Amino acid sequence: MGVLYTENGQLLPPNSDIVTGHSAISAFWQGAMDMGIKTAKLETVELEGQGDTAFEVGKYTLGGEGGKVIDSGKFIVVWRTEGEKWRLHRDIWNSSLPAPG
Amino acid sequence: MGVLYTENGQLLPPNSDIVTGHSAISAFWQGAMDMGIKTAKLETVELEGQGDTAFEVGKYTLGGEGGKVIDSGKFIVVWRTEGEKWRLHRDIWNSSLPAPG
């Protein structure tokens, strides 16, 4: 997963500090899968670019064992070209479900 | 608050659907203040622009009565010029504190 991000790419996950760089990003997503996330449905709501940068607004749904919805919410990704390929540069999201507890 | 955003500006708040437009955005922030938020400290970590669009990565700390920290986290704002003024166009954030419950 990490290689889909720019060299100094960053995740800004809920309930976490900022996660920077390929190996830390890969470890983060591996951890998410280890916690039982089986599927991620991503829907682009808006995508606008200028030059080497674009921003995307989207919605996500995370599925677990047996198709159970674990979470659904929204994200903003700042995309950037690196070596002529578009890569995720900044990636932030949050849940649209009610807060637990 | 709403007028600081573009005409079709959007908040993407945690545990909420997307909030669109000046009056809904003003109502959202009024609600936040009514819930006891007294201060918001914002720190820009990164700000990059191209043409009429810029993205900002930052950190926030929300304070309540007596200087108590209610929340701290991070945000991405997509800024856009509208009528020669920079306005918030897309605004998403999440907490860096552990999840409740």
Q: What is the pLDDT of residues B88-101, one digit of tens each?
A: 999 999 999 998 76
Tell me how long chain B is.
101
> Is a pLDDT exceeding 70 seen at residue B46?
yes
Reading chain A (101 residues) residue by residue, the pLDDT tens digits are: 888 999 999 999 999 999 999 999 999 999 999 999 999 999 999 999 989 999 999 999 999 999 899 999 999 999 999 989 999 999 999 999 998 76
* Cβ pair A78:B55 closer than 8 A: yes
The per-residue b/e assignment along A49-62, b for 16 or more CB within 10 angstroms, e otherwise, is: eeeebbbbbbbbeb
CB-based contact, B96 to chain A, within 8 Å = yes
Q: Which of residues 19-58 of A touch B (CB under 8 A)?
A: 48, 50-53, 55, 57
What is the predicted pLDDT for the residue at A29? 95
Q: How far B30 CA lies from chain A's nearest CA (Å)?
A: 19
d(CA A19, CA A91): 10
pTM higher than 0.90, yes or no?
Answer: yes
- Return the structure tokens found at A58: 């989207």
Burial class (CB in 10 A: 0-12, 13-18, 19+), A86: middle
d(CA B1, CA B3): 6
